[in-house]
């Protein structure tokens, strides 16, 4: 494994996963917070209902006493009897009043003596006989109290029941441990606003401004505002921890994801490097094969009175050198001996045999031998039984000045002659290939080639196709040669190669062109 900086992709993947994680954590937190809020609101609503019914109880209590007072014509003893039961249980101060001409007179009193609101009994005089609970406010005292009163409805006796209920010390609200509300910080205010002056009761920890919810419920002729906050998550610890769990797991996953991408991409880089190395070796090997082949093939000579051009194209399997070759040996102005050949088989054995034959031809020609003799001597150099190869060879002797061409073929195609816009596949007796025993030497064929012409010699790659008879390929080459005969020689060979190339041609192709005017 390479020790390099993490790849951009890996970092990007990790960052994207991290971003998703943070998003999910926020979402979870939001959902949790929402569910916390809605849970809290629901609990406050329950408390509200509880307090509303409390108000109803107070109202019924005072109304009952009012009814008794009316029925007994404000008999203090009757009032005392009924009030006494209440006072014992609640520590209230209960008193019976009659309102006449804007002034209230106390008829009876039970429990703690009433403190009365600041303006004393006058504050009671303004009440109406509605049968409704009237909250008169919080009174300071030992202890502080809540003052409220009720005048029985539809009553003309003008009786009024007045009560003061003690608030707990420090107005402390104690919620029993086993209550469903035990986890809440609560504060109750008289009125519909949060006014510290109007605080009725609060738990030890008053709810702060954050995360608190408030609800207001009717309470007698006024209302109560309940403020609450959760001490601990209402939906449970797991749900509160969920955003953190999501965040933690997400971070781990992001790191794992980034690491995985990093690992995979590094492996890929290694694989790509191996592939590139293989590709390089392949190219190198192909380069070696091509280099060898081209090194074994000659550079065509510059000759006076004769244009010479040659092309060699490797077959589809370029890794192996082929056995095709050509050579042109100058013999004075407009005169040359040329050779085109093809060793059966492929690879180094074919290439080395090719080289041997090519230099043998050069040597025999240099010794002044005629092409007939050269061909017979070549036959001594190769034996299919020993070498498992044979060679098709076309030897030609061209005297352009004299307009004479001599050909001798050992298993090789005769050349195509292009002259005056027509192309002809020359005919020439074909002896067995070099390497195969031949009964007797075949004399050279003489072809008159007067006037400007182009001679095109080639190997089987130019004409052989797997699915057709060789004659079809020969005709294709002949027609293509006729069509391109007017082009400059180099261009003509390129055009021919383009025209003759076919998909998956397995054989090497040599084209040798000789042109004179």
Give the residues lining the site for another protein (CB under 8 A).
342, 344-346, 384-385, 388-390, 392, 409-411, 413, 429-433, 435-437, 439, 460, 464, 466, 468-471, 507
CA distance 214 to 19: 35
C-alpha dihedral (82, 84, 88, 89), degrees to nearest 10: 20
Q: Return the number of the residue (79 or 413) whose C-beta is nearest another protein.
A: 413
Q: Return the number of the residue (91 or 349) whose C-beta is nearest another protein.
A: 349
What is the Cα gyration radius of the chain?
60
Q: Return the number of the residue (297 or 474) whose C-beta is nearest another protein.
A: 474
Beta bridge partners of 422: 419
Parallel/antiparallel/unpaired status of strands 199-202 and 213-219 = unpaired
Look up residue 168 and give its DSSP letter: P
C-alpha dihedral (86, 88, 90, 95), degrees to nearest 10: 50
The dihedrals phi and psi of 27, each to the nearest 5 degrees, come to -60, -45
**Distance in Å, CB of 411 to another protein, minimum:** 4
Beta bridge partners of 356: none
Q: Return the number of the residue (3 or 466) whose C-beta is nearest another protein.
A: 466
A 10 A CB-CB count for 437 gives 9
Which string of DSSP letters, residue by residue, matches 262-321? Answer: HHHHHHHHHHHHHHHHHHHHHHHHHHHHHHHHHHHSPPPPPBTTBEEEEEEE--S-TTS-
Q: Return the number of the residue (145 or 346) whose C-beta is nearest another protein.
A: 346
Residue (of 440, 347, 361) closest to 394 by Cα position:
361
- Planar angle of CA 357, 359, 363, nearest 5 degrees: 115
Q: Return the number of the residue (184 or 474) whose C-beta is nearest another protein.
A: 474
**Distance in Å, CB of 368 to another protein, minimum:** 26
Q: Return the number of the residue (166 or 349) whose C-beta is nearest another protein.
A: 349
CA distance 158 to 380: 154
**Distance in Å, CB of 458 to another protein, minimum:** 12
**Distance in Å, CB of 384 to another protein, minimum:** 5
Q: Return the number of the residue (158 or 392) whose C-beta is nearest another protein.
A: 392
The answer to whether 387 and 353 have CB atoms below 8 angstroms apart is yes
**Distance in Å, CB of 463 to another protein, minimum:** 9
Look up residue 334 and give its DSSP letter: T
CA distance 184 to 349: 98
**Distance in Å, CB of 342 to another protein, minimum:** 7
**Distance in Å, CB of 271 to another protein, minimum:** 26
**Distance in Å, CB of 432 to another protein, minimum:** 5
Q: Return the number of the residue (268 or 388) whose C-beta is nearest another protein.
A: 388
395: its two tokens? 């030897």
The answer to whether 339 and 361 have CB atoms below 8 angstroms apart is yes
**Distance in Å, CB of 439 to another protein, minimum:** 8
């Amino acid at each position: 494994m390479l020790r390099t900086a993490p790849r951009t992709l890996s970092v990007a993947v990790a960052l994207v996963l991290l971003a998703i994680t943070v998003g999910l954590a926020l979402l979870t937190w939001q959902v949790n917070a929402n569910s916390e809020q809605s849970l809290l609101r629901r609990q406050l609503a329950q408390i509200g209902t509880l307090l509303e019914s409390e108000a109803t109880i107070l109202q019924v209590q005072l109304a009952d006493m009012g009814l008794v007072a009316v029925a007994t014509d404000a008999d203090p003893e009757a009032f005392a009897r009924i009030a006494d039961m209440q006072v014992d249980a609640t520590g209230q101060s209960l008193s019976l009043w009659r309102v006449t001409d804007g002034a209230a007179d106390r008829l009876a009193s039970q429990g703690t003596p009433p403190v009365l609101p600041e303006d004393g009994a006058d504050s009671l005089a303004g009440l109406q006989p509605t049968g409704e609970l009237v909250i008169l406010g919080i009174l300071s005292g030992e202890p502080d109290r809540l003052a409220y009163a009720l005048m029985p409805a539809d009553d003309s006796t003008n009786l009024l029941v007045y009560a003061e209920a003690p608030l707990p010390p420090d107005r402390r609200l104690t919620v029993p441990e086993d209550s469903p509300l035990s986890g809440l910080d609560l504060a109750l205010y008289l009125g519909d606003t949060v006014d510290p002056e109007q605080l009725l009761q609060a738990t030890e920890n008053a709810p702060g401004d954050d995360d608190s919810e408030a609800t207001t419920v009717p309470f007698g002729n006024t209302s109560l505002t309940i403020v609450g906050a959760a001490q601990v998550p209402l939906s449970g610890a797991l749900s509160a921890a969920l955003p953190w769990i999501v965040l933690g797991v997400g971070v781990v996953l992001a790191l794992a994801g980034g690491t995985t991408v990093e690992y995979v991409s590094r492996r890929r880089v290694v694989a790509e490097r191996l592939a590139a190395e293989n590709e390089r070796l392949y190219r190198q090997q192909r380069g070696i094969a091509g280099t060898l082949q081209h090194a074994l093939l000659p550079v065509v000579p510059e000759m006076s009175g004769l244009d010479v051009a040659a092309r060699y194209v490797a077959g589809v399997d370029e890794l192996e050198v082929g056995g095709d070759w050509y050579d042109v040996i100058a013999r004075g102005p407009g005169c040359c001996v040329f050779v085109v050949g093809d060793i059966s088989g492929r690879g180094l054995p074919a290439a080395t045999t090719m080289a041997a034959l090519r230099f043998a031809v050069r040597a025999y020609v240099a010794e002044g031998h005629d092409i007939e003799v050269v061909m017979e001597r070549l036959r001594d150099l190769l034996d299919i039984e020993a070498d498992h190869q044979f060679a098709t060879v076309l030897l030609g002797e061209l005297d352009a000045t004299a307009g004479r061409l001599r050909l001798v073929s050992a298993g090789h195609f005769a050349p195509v002659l292009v002259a005056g816009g027509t192309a002809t596949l020359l005919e020439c007796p074909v002896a067995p290939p070099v390497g195969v025993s031949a009964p007797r030497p075949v004399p050279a064929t003489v072809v008159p080639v007067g006037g400007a012409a182009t001679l095109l010699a080639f190997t089987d790659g130019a004409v052989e196709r797997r699915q057709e008879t060789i004659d079809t390929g020969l005709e294709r080459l002949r027609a293509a040669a006729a069509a391109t005969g007017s082009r400059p020689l180099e261009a003509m060979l390129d055009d021919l190669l383009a025209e003759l190339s076919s998909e998956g041609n397995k054989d090497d192709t040599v084209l040798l062109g000789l042109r004179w005017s």
